[in-house]
């Protein structure tokens, strides 16, 4: 899928992802795909299913964030086990997205560190693509700064029925 299409709002794409992958999301959330965690591709597929596809399937509702905990758990488990190097740089951008989506400041700091690492590694191994990793780092910093300033993502308040804070 083209990069620009991945990170844009597109109802037709959201509907297609829901049609094709919602049954898998439900099964994965119920533990039916636990064996996927045993391989690097399977684990990344679960992370994308929980972190990205849920946002497409349930855009505009609280359910779009409901799968953040299992996505973050898998990403952190991968990091804690030292398995990040099993993934290419581009795949690591998706591995780290659950960190970027966390409302915990310590996790946001880790997100910025990891995306900075991608920039540094890209400069050494694939300089022609460094601009992409700099772009992802920019968004990691933006997410970090929002959580640092507000303690959460204020744009989620309405959909999550949270009280809107002044200065958020």
In this structure, what token pair is assigned to residue 7?
């990170």
CB 61 within 8 A of CB 161: no
Q: Determine, yes or no, domain membership for 95.
A: yes
The predicted structure's pLDDT at residue 167: 58
Give me the mean pLDDT over the 52-64 stretch. Answer: 96
The reply to whether 164 falls in a domain is no
pLDDT higher than threshold 90 for residue 8: no
Q: Is residue 166 part of a domain?
A: no
CATH number of residue 125's parent domain: 1.25.40.10
Domain of residue 21, residue span: 3-156
| pLDDT given for residue 30 in this prediction | 98
| Block residue for tokens 């972190």 | 51
Tens digit of each residue's pLDDT (9 = 90 or more) over 92-139 = 999 999 999 999 999 999 999 999 999 999 999 999 999 999 999 999
**Is the pLDDT reported for residue 3 higher than 60?**
no
> Contact at 8 Å (CB) between 50 and 70?
yes
- What mean pLDDT comes out for the span 36-62? 97
43 in a structural domain: yes
Residue 9: pLDDT band (50, 70, 90) is confident
Domain-embedded: residue 150:
yes
Instruction: Tell me if the pTM is above 0.85.
Output: yes
- 77 in a domain, yes or no? yes
Q: Is the Cα torsion angle 108, 45, 29, 36 positive or negative in sign?
A: negative
Cα dihedral sign for 100, 52, 26, 154? positive
Q: What is the pLDDT of residues 30-39, one digit of tens each?
A: 999 999 999 9
What is the secondary structure of 73-123 as a DSSP string?
A: HHHHHHHHTT-GGGS-HHHHHHHTHHHHT---HHHHHHHHHHHHHHHHHHH
Cα–Cα distance for residue pair 161/164, rounded to 1 Å:
9
- Residues 29 and 93: their CA atoms lie apart, in Å, by 22
Contact 108, 102 (CB under 8 A): yes
Is residue 1 classed as helix, strand or coil in its secondary structure?
coil
Number of domains observed in the structure of the chain:
1
How far is residue 168 from each of residues 143, 157, 158, measured CA to CA in Å?
Answer: 13, 10, 12
Residue 87 to residue 159: CA distance in whole angstroms: 34
């Amino acid at each position: 899928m083209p990069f620009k299409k991945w990170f844009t709002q597109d109802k037709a794409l959201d509907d297609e992802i829901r049609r094709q992958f919602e049954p898998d999301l439900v099964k994965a959330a119920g533990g039916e795909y636990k064996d996927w965690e045993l391989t690097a591709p399977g684990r990344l597929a679960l992370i994308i299913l929980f972190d990205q596809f849920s946002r497409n399937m349930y855009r505009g509702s609280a359910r779009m964030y409901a799968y953040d905990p299992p996505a973050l758990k898998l990403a952190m488990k991968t990091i804690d086990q030292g398995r990040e190097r099993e993934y290419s740089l581009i795949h690591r951008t998706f591995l780290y997205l659950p960190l970027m989506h966390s409302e915990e400041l310590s996790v946001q700091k880790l997100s910025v560190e990891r995306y900075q690492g991608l920039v540094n590694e890209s400069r050494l191994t694939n300089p022609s693509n460094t601009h992409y990793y700099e772009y992802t780092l920019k968004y990691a910093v933006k997410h970090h700064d929002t959580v640092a300033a507000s303690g959460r993502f204020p744009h989620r308040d309405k959909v999550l029925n949270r009280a809107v804070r002044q200065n958020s």
